[in-house]
Amino acid sequence: MKTEMRHAMRVIVRKKLQSLLGMLGLVAAVIVPAMAYAEDAPRRPNIVIILADDMGFADMGSFGSEIKTPNLDSLAKAGTRFTNFYTHASCSPTRSMLLSGVDTHLNGLGNMNEWIAPNQAGVPGYEGNLNNRVVTMPQLLKGAGYHTYMVGKWHMGKAPDQIPAARGFERDFSLLDGGGSYWDMTNITAAVPKSLFTEDGRYLTKLPEDYYATKTYTDKLIGFIDANRGDGKPFFAYVAHQAPHDPYHLPRDWRNRHPGEYDKGWDQVRQERLKRQVEMGIMPAGTELAERMWFVPDPIVLAPASRYILGKKMELYAGMVENMDFHVGRLIDHLKKIGEYENTIFIFFGDNGAEGTDLFGMIAGSPGSRDNLYAAITWSQTHPNAWGDPGSWVGYGPMWAQVSMTPFSQFKGQLAEGGIRNALIVSGPNVKRPAGSINDGLMHVADLMPTLLEVAGTSYPKASQPDLPPLIGKSWGPVLAGKADSVRTEQDYLAWEVFGNRAVRQGDWKLRWQLKPYGKSDWELFNLAKDPAERNDLAAQNPDKLKAMLVAWESYVKANNVILPSRGPYDTLEKDMPQRVTVHPGFPPLIYQRQFVPPKEMLADPKP
């Protein structure tokens, strides 16, 4: 009996085991193809956005510069350069659109935090930080399975719910302020003497040993990438360099790489850059330089010592750009070393036009003021041999800012092309255009959100969150794939407003209102295809076009709750600056006429 029972039990166990094995086989039959599919499916690319701060359109070798940028140029050679790419005219508005894809007047940066006007204070969209009514790119990419990293300048809020860790970044090492020392935590005003930094969502009490901004940001990012290597997840890295924003702080071995090169002056350097741009195809043949700004002297009339000192400032700026390029190269080399370079999309551009205003003078204010005393003590290293050291402050001024923005008019803060048009490089596996090609399609910084969500295989959650503001950009997918030359039609338009300056771009046409003295405090109309330097106002000759573009402007104002500021940085500027006049080369002849030299055969000594 016991034997029969044991036999029966063996039969039952065997059948259950066979059943269990059958079930496991079925599960395996489902899992293995899925695993095989996952292994066979193409890896989603890593995404690296490298943002330069106050770097000009013409400051890379691949965009016509004499500044040596071999690493950025290598990205241009492998990918595509874009010559009609727009940001905003100042830092935080651009950054807010980059990360949200939403217009500044809805995302919280309708005006910079530093310039919120009395009639804008307390109005939604003008918080001065990236507000919580928008969702950010890192939040969406993180939800789609990406690691999200940030290093560098944030400038979109300092409170715990406003810092990078609160807006979707898994790892960060960030300067929260808009600028400051590259060597330490020294900030730029007496009321805010110490810059704030965060690392992984915690406010830092001190900086790492041997801190230098551009180097440390790169070191930290490489560390973030390596910490998660091998887990199979792609990464999104936002590299928001402080360079080359003033003050120009630089290690000594990077300061003298262009000795005497800029003593020839800004006009000649602009002409040389434009010539190279035309030869490269960056600008069309026949492009004119923008008029030299009326308050900038012709370098010909300056004494050699003055040209030397001003040239040395440009040498320092060039060193800042070259040092940043070197550290970009370190990142590229590391990604090659770990086998991630070929599967990484690189996007490089500057956040606005080059800085031509005297930021130091604006902050320091008048003698006897609190900030003037702070500036004199904190930024006391004024000898040219100390430029670049801790405690020094150098900016290169409007003359060199126009060089950086060759061939365009004006610079940062303005809605002339020199304030908002930037050099853009895109390279990587999604770029199917010919290597080293140049594209003149109309592009905008807000396009990055739809473009990169598409790359990541996810989408903007408008359907599930109907209160989210609409994206204003268009995906670059068709252009990068080589299936289209532009993502915009002749009817699509872009629009801007900051500090009371305003502009609309539609097709080849641009409508612009700039406050005096940089503008007319009236609408001006330009055909940028024929006149990229904005030399010829065509408003009077084209009243119908003017009227049609004003309709676009009013539509933009209504859709985005644009509130023109009651106060701003131009309040007394017209009175304080020289009266604006047209600059004509060689005028007045009085200061250009040279010593007349009589024919040698007609020379004689006086008669006795």
Positions annotated as catalytic residues are 91, 155
190 near 373, Cβ under 8 Å?
Answer: yes
Cα distances from 404 to residues 110, 352, 545, in angstroms, run 27, 11, 31
Could you tell me the maximum CA-CA distance found in the chain, to the nearest angstrom?
158
How far is Cα of residue 366 from the mean position of the Cα atoms in its chain?
31
For residue 300, the tally of other CB atoms under 10 A from its CB is: 14
**N- to C-terminal Cα separation, the chain:** 158
29 Cβ contact partners less than 8 Å away, ≥ 6 residues apart = none
Separation CA 442–CA 107 (nearest Å): 23
Separation CA 180–CA 246 (nearest Å): 8
Packed helices 397-404 and 304-337: angle between N→C axes, nearest 10 degrees: 40
DSSP string, 373-393: HHHHHHT---SGGGTTSTT--
Separation CA 4–CA 460 (nearest Å): 68
For residue 526, the tally of other CB atoms under 10 A from its CB is: 25
Packed helices 213-227 and 304-337: angle between N→C axes, nearest 10 degrees: 10
Separation CA 233–CA 235 (nearest Å): 7
Cα distances from 453 to residues 109, 473, 488, in angstroms, run 22, 12, 19
Separation CA 257–CA 391 (nearest Å): 22
Structure tokens at 452: 């990169």
Separation CA 30–CA 434 (nearest Å): 42
Number of residues that this document lists for the chain: 608
229 near 162, Cβ under 8 Å?
Answer: no
- Pairing status of strand 421-427 against strand 344-350: antiparallel
Separation CA 241–CA 226 (nearest Å): 20
64 near 277, Cβ under 8 Å?
Answer: yes
Amino acid letter, residue 501:
N
Backbone conformation region of residue 192, classed left if phi is above 0, alpha if psi is from -120 to 50, else beta: beta
Separation CA 426–CA 433 (nearest Å): 10
